[in-house]
A and B are shown apart, each in its own frame.
Chain A
Amino acid sequence: MTSENLVYFIALPLFSSALLMLLGRKADKWGHIFATLVSASVFVLGVMEFLAMRDRPEESRALTQKLFTWISVGSFNVDAGLLLDQLSIAFVLLITGVGTLIHIYSIAYMSHDRDRRRFFSYLNLFIAAMLLLVLGDSYLNLYVGWEGVGLASYLLIGFWNQKPEYATAAKKAFVANRVGDFGLSIAVMIAFAHFGTVSFGGIEEKVGGASETALTAMGLMLLLAATGKSAQFPLQAWLGDAMAGPTPVSALIHAATMVTAGVYLITRSNFVFDNAPNAQLAVVIIGAITLLFGAIIGTAKDDIKKALAASTMSQIGYMIMATGFGPAGYAFAIMHLLTHGFFKAGMFLGAGSVMHGMNDEVNMRRYGGLAKFMPITTITFGLGYLAIIGVPPFAGFYSKDKIIETAFNAGGVQGIIFGSTALLGAIITAFYMTRVMMMTFFGNKRWADDAHPHESPFLMWAPMAVLAIGSVASGYLLYSGKAIVKWLAPVVDKHHHEHTELLPPIVVSALAVTAVLIGVGIALAKYRGELSATAPQDVSIFTRVARRDLLQDDANEFMFMRPGQKLTEVLVKTDDKVIDGMVRGVAASTIGSARGMRKIQTGYVRNYALLILLGALAAFVAILVVTL
């Protein structure tokens, strides 16, 4: 079915963003409210489309809208078109719903910032770009949104760019994302070369006739794109530094929405991956590595936001891993993405609330015992905590449990390896999240002298409360009667695969809950007593490595930065000595030879006459020699 309304999803926030930027200081008084209202209205639009979609029969649920013919060159035609189907609407609701809550939260959180209007303008820009990303009906349209969210992320990470290290963090995120974007652009080129089209529908029709090599190449390039945007191994290093942005940004962009774009990309490209098992295996491996990688970093971080960022990385690792299991996993990846959107955004907002009350202190070693002073934050954060570690019946239990189950059911040795990895990840997750809880809200007070913790204002805790409710209920709502699986089936599981079961679900659930209990138990044993306000220095080599983010920056520096700098130096020298040398050499030799040649121009007529005569004689002799 076609629709005329889809364009408003993008046009409204884009217009609002441009308006706030163009009006400048004139809009300072009402800019934040305007931007929040725009975001809320897009959410209402999304809810209406969702309700309408639910009432339509399954085969006519997807809506399309052609905006204009974008590129028309020979046989290459791309329309700027939008597609709202069962997968897109889930994202639309998450982006606009969580986005609106975070707009509301930011009104209070950013109230002391003189650039609040600019902040809201960027937030709306992000909403517009992210909606374009999930609504584009071709890889090229998606690419525009993909770059748009990268830009918004860059602007927001570097929002306080008066601090050089924040500006550097923004640059780092941008560069890492560009590496991934490079993969996406190559994937688009492969799609065009092999299918002659870049639209999702067009490729899906022709995917049967393509060679597996081409599909594998395209899948790997898409995976590269996903690793960049979703902070997966090996492009994960930017996410921790991205916490330089204001906390609402971390909650919205670097926890709930933008970083899940990679999961969306792979799920959207299910027709490619389902026909390229090698690419799928790569996806699973990347996801498994990242889920452990992030979890291990999370155990060592004292900065509350960086601990949560590491946790985000790890949780997205779960989602990426799930997408790699094909039709069995897509729906659970999306389900975990949605529940994660609730509980992680909620916890980030909680962290922001704690920072708000503690003079922007982020070091958990300087927290402790805050439960008494910030009861609402403690409860909302605590509900998110229970959700993320996967305590039944909170949201994370359903979604993560299903991913672990899917991993075990992948079959063979692979299934056991990946299932155990996911279980191990669950243990570590429970450990580091319990650590965050204990260090922040319980235990002895280790505050700075001028700290006066207090509960945050209503505008801040209300969104946290809503997200906490989501953290509690979303898992059950999404999974009851396999709602999400059935809802997404027309998009990701058209052929209704039968899934084999290695372990009965109840056993997996029992294993998962045991894993959680082990993790929580270790953390309680370790962080129950008195803690010091400074991080202990006499720690094992493993702790030290984990504190350094498992050497991710050192590895990047060693493998890319240093050789890159060396290469630049060599190139500069080459340019200076060889290229410029050649140019200068030509000039010098011209000047030198001219200096010599000038000497024969004496100005005396008889010299010229003599030369002419000699020339004539030479010609004469030459003719004689040739003829005789």
Chain B
Amino acid sequence: MNPTNYLYLSAILFSIGAVGVIVRRNAIVVFMCIELMLNAANLAFVTFAKMNGNLEGQVIAFFTMVVAACEVVVGLAIIVTIFRSRRSASVDDASLLSR
């Protein structure tokens, strides 16, 4: 199978994620979209590794997973805390900076 197709898939996934981050209000969904973008990037890395015949891309995919895991921990904690204090998971409600 032509590896370029994986790259197309990766680009589509990244675009869906990016659009989701920009248009959705629910913090959980925004969060999931970010994960989607990270995984799209991972897919691209692995594909490049396969195309070039070395392991560097795959190693970076592992790094990305570790970073994503940490980010999930911190991000979910923030979302839960905001939900507790504001009774809402909408990102638009957390816009104190503009006032």
Name which of A231-239, A329-337, A601-609 contacts chain B: A601-609
Give Cα distance in the complex from A613 to B22, angstroms.
Answer: 9
Give Cα distance in the complex from A606 to B97, angstroms.
Answer: 13
**What residues of B have a CB within 8 angstroms of the CB of A603 in the complex?**
95-99
Give Cα distance in the complex from A602 to B92, angstroms.
Answer: 10
Q: Does A610 contact B (CB under 8 A)?
A: yes
The digit string for B19-41, where 1 denotes a CB below 8 A from any CB of A, is 00111000000100000000000
Give Cα distance in the complex from A613 to B94, angstroms.
Answer: 20
How many A residues, CB 8 Å from partner? 9
Of the residues B30, B92, B97, contact of A601 by C-beta under 8 Å: B97
Interface residues of B in 46-92 (CB under 8 A from A): 91-92
Q: Does B18 contact A (CB under 8 A)?
A: yes
**What residues of B have a CB within 8 angstroms of the CB of A606 in the complex?**
21-23, 30, 91-92
Residue of A nearest to B96 (CB): A603
Residue of A nearest to B18 (CB): A613
How many B residues, CB 8 Å from partner? 13
Give Cα distance in the complex from A613 to B98, angstroms.
Answer: 21
The answer on a CB contact under 8 Å between B22 and A610 is yes
Residue of B nearest to A609 (CB): B21
Give Cα distance in the complex from A212 to B94, angstroms.
Answer: 86
Interface residues of A in 587-618 (CB under 8 A from B): 601-606, 609-610, 613
The answer on a CB contact under 8 Å between B21 and A601 is no
**What residues of B have a CB within 8 angstroms of the CB of A601 in the complex?**
97-98
The answer on a CB contact under 8 Å between B94 and A605 is yes
The answer on a CB contact under 8 Å between B92 and A604 is yes
The answer on a CB contact under 8 Å between B95 and A602 is yes
**What residues of B have a CB within 8 angstroms of the CB of A613 in the complex?**
18, 21-22
**What residues of A have a CB within 8 angstroms of the CB of B97 in the complex?**
601-603
Give Cα distance in the complex from A58 to B83, angstroms.
Answer: 109
Kindly provide the distance from the CB of B12 to the nearest chain A CB, expressed in whole angstroms: 16
The answer on a CB contact under 8 Å between A604 and B30 is no
Give Cα distance in the complex from A602 to B94, angstroms.
Answer: 11
**What residues of B have a CB within 8 angstroms of the CB of A610 in the complex?**
22
Give Cα distance in the complex from A605 to B98, angstroms.
Answer: 11
The answer on a CB contact under 8 Å between A605 and B99 is no
The answer on a CB contact under 8 Å between A604 and B98 is yes
Give Cα distance in the complex from A545 to B11, angstroms.
Answer: 102
**What residues of B have a CB within 8 angstroms of the CB of A609 in the complex?**
21-22
**What residues of B have a CB within 8 angstroms of the CB of A604 in the complex?**
91-92, 95, 98
Given the known A-B contacts A610-B22, A613-B22, are A605 and B91 also in contact in the complex, defined by CB atoms under 8 Å?
Answer: yes
Kindly provide the distance from the CB of B22 to the nearest chain A CB, expressed in whole angstroms: 5
**What residues of B have a CB within 8 angstroms of the CB of A605 in the complex?**
30, 91-92, 94-95
Residue of B nearest to A617 (CB): B18
Give Cα distance in the complex from A583 to B32, angstroms.
Answer: 51
Give Cα distance in the complex from A610 to B92, angstroms.
Answer: 14
Give Cα distance in the complex from A97 to B91, angstroms.
Answer: 99
**What residues of B have a CB within 8 angstroms of the CB of A602 in the complex?**
95, 97-98
**What residues of A have a CB within 8 angstroms of the CB of B30 in the complex?**
605-606
**What residues of A have a CB within 8 angstroms of the CB of B21 in the complex?**
606, 609, 613
**What residues of A have a CB within 8 angstroms of the CB of B92 in the complex?**
604-606
**What residues of A have a CB within 8 angstroms of the CB of B95 in the complex?**
602-605
Kindly provide the distance from the CB of B79 to the nearest chain A CB, expressed in whole angstroms: 11
Residue of A nearest to B37 (CB): A613
**What residues of A have a CB within 8 angstroms of the CB of B94 in the complex?**
605
Give Cα distance in the complex from A625 to B79, angstroms.
Answer: 39
**What residues of A have a CB within 8 angstroms of the CB of B18 in the complex?**
613
Give Cα distance in the complex from A613 to B19, angstroms.
Answer: 10
Kindly provide the distance from the CB of A551 to the nearest chain B CB, expressed in whole angstroms: 75
Give Cα distance in the complex from A605 to B34, angstroms.
Answer: 13
Give Cα distance in the complex from A105 to B91, angstroms.
Answer: 99
Kindly provide the distance from the CB of A322 to the nearest chain B CB, expressed in whole angstroms: 88
**What residues of A have a CB within 8 angstroms of the CB of B23 in the complex?**
606
Kindly provide the distance from the CB of A489 to the nearest chain B CB, expressed in whole angstroms: 94
Kindly provide the distance from the CB of B37 to the nearest chain A CB, expressed in whole angstroms: 10
Give Cα distance in the complex from A609 to B96, angstroms.
Answer: 17
Give Cα distance in the complex from A602 to B96, angstroms.
Answer: 9
Kindly provide the distance from the CB of B52 to the nearest chain A CB, expressed in whole angstroms: 18
Residue of A nearest to B97 (CB): A603
Kindly provide the distance from the CB of A586 to the nearest chain B CB, expressed in whole angstroms: 27
Kindly provide the distance from the CB of A365 to the nearest chain B CB, expressed in whole angstroms: 87
Residue of A nearest to B30 (CB): A605
Give Cα distance in the complex from A610 to B30, angstroms.
Answer: 13
Give Cα distance in the complex from A613 to B17, angstroms.
Answer: 11
Give Cα distance in the complex from A606 to B22, angstroms.
Answer: 5
Give Cα distance in the complex from A606 to B94, angstroms.
Answer: 11
Kindly provide the distance from the CB of A594 to the nearest chain B CB, expressed in whole angstroms: 15
Interface residues of A in 218-241 (CB under 8 A from B): none
Kindly provide the distance from the CB of B25 to the nearest chain A CB, expressed in whole angstroms: 8
Give Cα distance in the complex from A603 to B90, angstroms.
Answer: 13
Kindly provide the distance from the CB of A195 to the nearest chain B CB, expressed in whole angstroms: 73
Give Cα distance in the complex from A604 to B30, angstroms.
Answer: 13
Give Cα distance in the complex from A604 to B97, angstroms.
Answer: 8
Give Cα distance in the complex from A609 to B24, angstroms.
Answer: 12
Interface residues of A in 328-386 (CB under 8 A from B): none
**What residues of A have a CB within 8 angstroms of the CB of B98 in the complex?**
601-604
Kindly provide the distance from the CB of B18 to the nearest chain A CB, expressed in whole angstroms: 6
Interface residues of A in 407-455 (CB under 8 A from B): none
Give Cα distance in the complex from A400 to B30, angstroms.
Answer: 110
Q: Which of A602, A609, A613 has the most CB of B within 10 A?
A: A609
Binding site for A on B (CB under 8 A): 18, 21-23, 30, 91-92, 94-99
Binding site for B on A (CB under 8 A): 601-606, 609-610, 613
Contacts beyond the supplied A603-B96, A605-B30: 16 A-B pairs with Cβ under 8 Å: A602-B98, A603-B97, A603-B98, A603-B99, A604-B92, A604-B95, A604-B98, A605-B91, A605-B94, A605-B95, A606-B23, A606-B30, A606-B91, A606-B92, A613-B18, A613-B21
Pairs across A and B, CB under 8 Å, 24 listed = A601-B97, A601-B98, A602-B95, A602-B97, A602-B98, A603-B95, A603-B96, A603-B97, A604-B91, A604-B92, A604-B95, A604-B98, A605-B91, A605-B92, A606-B21, A606-B22, A606-B23, A606-B30, A606-B91, A609-B21, A610-B22, A613-B18, A613-B21, A613-B22
Of all A-B residue pairs in the complex, the 4 with the closest CB atoms, nearest first, are A603-B98, A603-B95, A603-B97, A605-B91
